[in-house]
Structure 1
């Protein structure tokens, strides 16, 4: 479904969809940085840890989103 995509940005508002490790997805959701995609785990080939990440509003929040993107990329590449 995601065709190997780790993340994508929504140009209209700066929000993103990312695929995290299950542990990271829980951390993101519990910290309030995003919400689970409604089709995640409920649609064929849609990963369970597919998360909608809210758009950053400050430089500090942008840094957190950068860290989240790095975590998603590390999970996808097996770097951690």
Structure 2
């Protein structure tokens, strides 16, 4: 929940503290298997932490960054 509040919202004024950087929060692919939870995380712009997703976000233009919370599962 802390990562969502920090990188998924403007609750901590991320864009003012790091101007020009757009974070994209990433999570395990298995989190997209649960129908209602899948809709919730997709509505917040969260994407899969696969290699292809990481490369897509980082190559989508200047200022894009990825936020990966490690630990708890094999990522």
TM-score category (smaller protein): 0.3 to 0.5
Superposition TM-score, scaled by structure 2 size: 0.33
Superposition TM-score, scaled by structure 1 size: 0.32
| Greater helix proportion | 2
Structure having the higher Rg: 2
